[in-house]
Amino acid sequence: MMMFAGLKWILLGLTCLHMAQAVEPDEILSNKDLESRARDISQNLRCLVCQNESIDESNSPLAADLRALLREQLQEGKSNEDIYQYMTTRYGEFVLLKPQPSGSNWLLYLSGPFFMFIALVAMGLYVRQRQMVGIKGHAPLTEDEERELQAITSQRDSKD
Amino acid sequence: MVGCVVAELGHFALILASLVALMQIIIPAIGVFLMWPKWMHLVHAAALLQFFLTAIAFAALTQAFVQSDFSIALVANHSHSAKPLLYKLSGVWGNHEGSMLLWVLILSLFSALIVWFGGALPIRLKTLTLSVQAAIASAFYAFILLTSNPFERLAIAPFEGMGLNPLLQDPGLAFHPPALYVGYVGLAVSFSFAVAALLLGEVNAAWARWVRPWTLVSWVFLTLGIALGSWWAYYELGWGGWWFWDPVENASFMPWLFATALLHSATVAEKRGCLKSWTLLLAILAFSFSLLGTFLVRSGILTSVHAFATDPGRGVFILAILIIFSGGALALYAWRGSMIVSDNVFAPLSRETALISNNILLVVAALVVFIGTFWPLVAEIIFGRMLSVGPPFFEIAVTPFLVALAMLLPLGSTMPWKTASTAGLRHLWWVFLSAVLCGTVVLFLDNAHSTLGALGLALAVWLAAGVVADLAKRAGMGRGGIRAALWRIFNMPRSEWGKSLAHFGLAVTIAGISAITAWESEDIRLAETGDQYQISDRYALRFDHLGLVEGPNYQATRASMMILKDSHEVAQLFPEKRFYPVSGMVTTEAAIEMGFLRDIYVVIGDSQADGRVTVKAYIKPLANWIWLGAIIMSLGGLTSLLDRRYRLASVGRSRPRMTPSPALER
C-alpha cells in the first residue's frame, strides 16, 4: 500500500552506502563498441546485495567489481553469451534480470501469449454470439421498413 | 498534557468507529432483505458517524505529530521536533500505521460522499453498497487496532524522535501516498457497488452510470499518484530513472490497468447494455488487485529481509482480508453473475468490439505484470529455482500489449456503436500517413540510429493526430461552415472532451517514453574546477566552482556548473552531494535544467584524492512529456467527471431526451 516507488533506494542508501555511484569514469572502456555492449550487459545483471537493481545502477562495491569483471572479459574477446554464462555459473540464475527461457520459466514467458489466445477465443465467441442474438431474436425487416430505416440513418449521419 | 488526552481520544474514536462500522454492516443489510425502510435509513447516520469518528482519530494523530508527542511510539520512531511542518504532516502517513489510518479515513470519506451525493440512487442499492463499504472498513479497523495501532504509547518517552528518512523529506513524496490511496480506495467503492448489485441481482445501464464517476475519481488519483512517484524517482535518485518495474511500482500499476479497463467497459455497459457481467467482474478484480498490492508491500514477501515494514503477522492478516473479500466476491459472482444478461446486438466491426479488445489487452498486460511480479516466489517455492524477474523481462513481455493497445486506439475511438464501416475510418488515412511520415523523418534525422524511437514517436503521432481527426470528424468540418463546426465541437458532451484529452495525454506520455529511451545521452568523467567540455553535440559544461555548504540538517558538497550552447550560457546548475549526520546517509541532489524538449541533468559523485570529481551529465529528450502526459490524462478524467450525466445529485432525474424507435435500438 505504501507506494513509495523508491523505497528500495532508501534501503539501498543504508545497505549500499559509503561508495561512489554506479558507473565510474575510470571503469569506462575506450573502445566505444565494447563499452556500449558492457552497458547493455550490465543492465541485465542484478546487483546481488541490493534490491531489484541492476549492476549498472548500483553503487555497491560488488556491482563495481562485476562491472569491471565483465569489461575485462569483453576485452578478452568473449561474447555476450559467454559472459552471461560465466555470471550464471558463478552466481546462479538469480543474477539474470531477464530469466532464462528454459524449463519452468516457459510458463512465465508463455503466460502472456496464452492469456491473449484464450481472451481472443472468448472474444470471438462472444462477438459471434452477439450477432446471433440479432439474427435469431428478430424478424428481418420488410422492404418498406428497410427503406424507412435507410432514410432515417442517412438523415442522422448527415446530422452528425 | 492536552496532547496526551487528545491521542487517547483519537484511539477511543477509532475503536468507536470500528463498532459503528460493524453496526453499519448488519442492521441496514437486514433492512434491505426484510424491506424495513427504517433499518435501511440507519446506514446514512452510521456512515457519517463513522467518517466523523475516523476523522477525529486522524486529527488526533496529526496533532501528535505536529506537537511532537514522543510518548507515542509512532511519533518517536518517525518524527523529529526540528522537522519542517510539511514533513511533520506527511510524517503522519509516511509510515505503516499512519498510512493504514489514512486508508480507512479515505474509505469512510468515500462512504460519506455516497451518502451526500447518492441521493438519487435506489435505496436498496445504496444501502447495500454502504454495508459492503462498512465490511471492508471493519476489516481494516480490526487490522489497525490488532496489529498496527498508531496510538501505541511508550513507557518512557524519549526527548527526541528518530526523524524521517531524508529521501522522504520531499514535497513530491509527501503527496504521492495520499494520491495513490484515494485511487485504491475509490476502487473499493466500485467493488462495493458491484457486490451490492450482485446481491440484488440487478445490473442495468443506470448501475454502470452510477459506478463510473467513482471509478473515474479513483483512476484520476491513481494516474497522478503513479506519476508523482515516478517524477520523484526521476529527480531524487540521481540518474533520472523513472520506472523500474519494482514490485512496489507494479503493485500500483496493476490496479491502474484494471481501473482503465473498468472505465472503458463501464462505458459499454452504460451506453449499450452489453458487458455488464464483465464490468462487474472487472470492478471486483480492480479492488482485489489494490488489496494484493497492499499485501505485497505490507508483507514484504517479495522484498526479502530488508523490506519496509516487514512483519509476517500483518502480511497474514492482509492475506486473510484479501481472500475473504476477493474470494467472497468472486464466489458471489460465480453464483449470481449468470443472472445478468446482456441483450444488445453489435457487429464484429464496432466500437463495442474495439472496447472489448481494449479490455483484453489491458487485462492481459496486468496479468503478465502480476505473474512476472510473483514469478520469483513461485519459481522458488514450486520449482526450487532462485531467480530474478527484472525490467528487461517486463519490457519485452508487457510492452507489446500496450503498444497494440495504442495502435488500436484511434481506430476504436472513432468507430460508432453497434456497427462500423471501413468507409467510416477513411479519415484516419491522413493520420496514418502523418504518423508514417513523422517516423520516416525522425529515422532520417537520426541516421537510423534508433528504429524503436522512431516507431514510438510515430505511434504518438498516430494517437495525437487520431484525436484531432476524431474531433474534426465530430465537428463535421466542411459541413455548414466553420461556425457550425465550432458550435458542434464546443457543445460536445464533457465526457467526449475528457476522452479526447485522456487519449491525447497518452500520446504525449508515449512520445516522452520513446524519446528518453531512444535518445538519452550521457557523459561520465572526472573533472575539476575550470574544466570546460562538450557533454553532447550541442551542449558544453563549464565547471566553475566546488565548495562546502551547510544545510539545516545536512552538509553538502556543492558544485557550480554552467551549461553552454554554442558558447552562450544557457543555465547555471548546482548539483550537490549531501551528508545527513543524524541518519548517516549520503544523498545525491541532481541539478536539472528543465526544458520542454529536453532536460539537462547533472550529478556529482565523490571527490578524488587529486581534487577531481566524478561528473555525470545527461541529456534527456522529452523527459517532462512523460509526466505532462499523465497530467493531461488526469485532466481528461476530471473533465469527464464533470459531464452532465454524472452529476450525482441529478442522477435519476435526468431522462433520456428522446426515445429511439425500437427498430433503431435493435
User: Amino acid identity of B615?
Assistant: V
Classified as helix, coil or strand, A121 is helix
> What's the pLDDT at A156?
65
Residue B57: partners with Cβ closer than 8 Å, 6 or more residues away: B10, B11, B13, B14, B17, B101, B105
What whole-number distance in Å separates Cα of residue B605 and Cα of residue B610? 14
Q: Do A7 and B308 touch (CB under 8 A)?
A: yes
Nearest by CB to residue B387, choosing from A11, A28, A93, is A93
pLDDT at B431 over 60: yes
Establish if B168 touches chain A: CB-CB under 8 angstroms: yes
Binary contact (A119, B360; C-beta < 8 A): yes
- Whether B506 shows a pLDDT value over 90: the answer reads yes
The Cα of A76 is separated from the nearest Cα of chain B by a number of Å equal to 24
Q: What is the pLDDT of residue B163?
A: 72
Note the Cα B452 to chain centre separation in Å.
27
Q: Which of residues 95-154 of A touch B (CB under 8 A)?
A: 95-100, 103-105, 108-109, 111-112, 115-116, 119-120, 123, 126-128, 130-131, 133-134, 137-138, 141, 145, 148-149, 152
Residues 6+ apart with CB under 8 A from A50: A8, A12, A15, A16, A58, A60, A63
Residue B266, CA distances (Å) to B129, B215, B355, B393, B566 in order: 18, 9, 10, 32, 54
Q: Which residues of A134-147 are buried (b: 16+ CB within 10 A; e: fewer)?
A: eeeeeeeeeeeeee
Question: Does the pLDDT value for residue B308 go beyond 70?
Answer: no
What pLDDT sits at residue B311? 59
The pLDDT, as a whole number, for residue A28 is: 83
Those of residues 60-89 in A touching chain B at CB distance below 8 A are none
User: Residue A23 above 60 pLDDT?
Assistant: yes
User: B592 or B661: whose pLDDT is higher?
Assistant: B592
Of A6, A108, A127, the CB nearest to B233: A6
CA distance A77 to chain B (A): 24
CATH for B521-624 (2.40.360, 2.40.128, 2.60.98, 1.10.150): 2.60.98
Please indicate whether residue A74 or residue B295 has the higher confidence score (pLDDT).
Answer: A74
Cα–Cα dist B74/B190, whole Å? 32
- pLDDT on residue A19: 38
Rounded to 5 degrees, φ, ψ at B564 are -120, 145
Q: Looking at A120-134, B55-69, B509-523, B585-599, which range is the least confident one?
A: A120-134
Chain A residues lying within 8 Å of B661, measured CB to CB: 152
The partner residue sitting opposite B167, judged by closest CB among A9, A133, A152, is A9
List CB contacts (< 8 A) between A98 and chain B: 389-390, 392-393, 396
Rounded Cα distance, A32 and A11, in Å = 34
Q: Which residues are CB-neighbours of B543 under 8 A, at least 6 positions away?
A: B527, B528, B529, B530, B531, B532, B559, B561, B615
| Interface check B364 vs A, CB under 8 A | yes
Distance between B525 CA and the closest CA of chain A, angstroms: 5
The most confident of B28-42, B466-480, B647-661, by mean pLDDT: B28-42
What pLDDT score does A7 carry?
Answer: 43
Distance, in Å, from the CA atom of B181 to the CA atom of B110, rounded to the nearest integer, reads 12
Chain A within 8 Å of B597 (Cβ-Cβ)? no
Closest CA relative to residue B134, chosen from B98, B115, B108: B108
Point out the least confidently predicted range of A36-40, A114-118, B343-347, B577-581.
Answer: B343-347
- Residue B489 contacts A where some CB pair is shorter than 8 Å: no
At the topology level, CATH places domain B1-169 in Four Helix Bundle (Hemerythrin (Met), subunit A) (1.20.120)
Helical residues (DSSP H) of chain A, grouped into ranges: 7-15, 32-43, 61-75, 80-91, 105-137, 143-159
Tell me if B389 and A108 make a contact (CB, 8 A cut-off).
Answer: yes
* Secondary structure (DSSP) of B593-632: E--SSEEEEEEEEEEPTTS-EEEEEEEEETHHHHHHHHHH
Where exactly does CATH 2.60.98 map onto chain B?
A: 521-624
Non-local (6+) Cβ contacts of B292 within 8 A are B251, B254, B322, B370
Of B367, B379, B390, the CB nearest to A104: B379
> CATH 1.20.120 in chain B, residues?
1-169
Chain A: give the shortest CA distance to residue B385, in Å. 8
Could you say which of B248, B585, B661 has the minimum Cβ distance to residue A4? B248
Q: What is the pLDDT of residue B17?
A: 96
Categorize the per-residue pLDDT at A136 as very low, low, confident or very high, splitting at 50, 70 and 90: low
CB burial readout B448-481, b (16+ within 10 A) else e? eebeebbbbbbbbbbbbbbbebbbeebbbbeeee
Q: B290, B274, B177: which is closest to B232 by C-alpha? A: B177
Is the pLDDT reported for residue B237 higher than 50?
yes
A150: nearest CA partner in chain B = B664
The three-class DSSP label of residue B84 is: coil
Tell me which residues of chain B, numbers 502 to 541, contact chain A at a CB-CB cutoff of 8 Å. 524-526
Question: Among A36-45, B205-214, B339-348, B425-434, where is mean pLDDT lowest?
Answer: B339-348
Nearest CB neighbour to B587, from listed A4, A13, A134? A13
Residue B644: burial class (beta carbons within 10 Å; 0-12, 13-18, 19+): exposed
Supply the DSSP symbol for B72.
B
Q: Check residue B566 and give its pLDDT.
A: 87
Nearest to B178 by CA among B101, B121, B281, B273: B101
Across the interface, whether the CB atoms of B239 and A22 are under 8 A apart is answered yes
- The gap from C-alpha A90 to its chain's centroid, in whole angstroms, comes to 25
- pLDDT of amino acid B61: 95
Mean residue pLDDT across chain B = 87
Inspect the interface and report whether the beta carbons of A3 and B392 lie closer than 8 Å: no
ipTM of model over 0.95: no
- pLDDT for res B164: 66
Question: Cβ of B663 and A57 within 8 Å?
Answer: no
Q: Of how many residues is chain B composed?
A: 666
User: Which of B92, B244, B296, B380 best tests the A interface by mutation, with the highest count of A CBs <10 A?
Assistant: B244
Q: What is the DSSP string of B255-294?
A: HHHHHHHHHHHHHHHHHHS-SHHHHHHHHHHHHHHHHHHH
Strand order through the sheet with B613-621: B521-527, B613-621, B598-607, B591-593
Q: Which residues are registered as beta bridge partners of B541?
A: B533, B563
Max Cα–Cα distance, chain A, nearest Å: 85
The three-state secondary structure class of B427 is coil
Q: Decide if pLDDT at B410 tops 70.
A: yes
pLDDT at B520 over 70: yes
Question: Could you give the dihedral angle defined by the CA atoms of residues B3, B5, B9 and B15, in that order, rounded to the nearest 10 degrees?
Answer: 110
Domains of chain A with CATH codes: 10-95 (1.10.8.640), 105-159 (no CATH)
Query: Of A103, A108, A126, which is closest to B371 when you measure between CB atoms?
Result: A108
> Given CB atoms, is A33 within the 8 Å cutoff of chain B?
no
> So what's the pLDDT on residue B657?
40
Query: Do the Cβ atoms of B177 and A2 come within 8 Å?
Result: yes
Rounded CA-CA distance B225/B293 in Å is 14
Q: Does B247 touch chain A (CB under 8 A)?
A: yes
Instruction: Return the amino acid letter for B8.
Output: E
Residue with grid cell 558544485, as numbered in its chain = B559
Among B304, B353, B586, beta carbon nearest to A127: B353
Between these two residues, B483 and B268, which has the higher pLDDT value? B268
Whether residue A6 and residue B356 make contact (CB cut-off 8 A), yes or no, is no
Residues B107-147 have pLDDT tens digits of 999 999 999 988 788 889 999 999 999 999 999 999 999 98
Measured between beta carbons, the chain A residues lying within 8 angstroms of B168 are: 4, 10
Question: What percent of chain A has pLDDT above 90?
Answer: 33
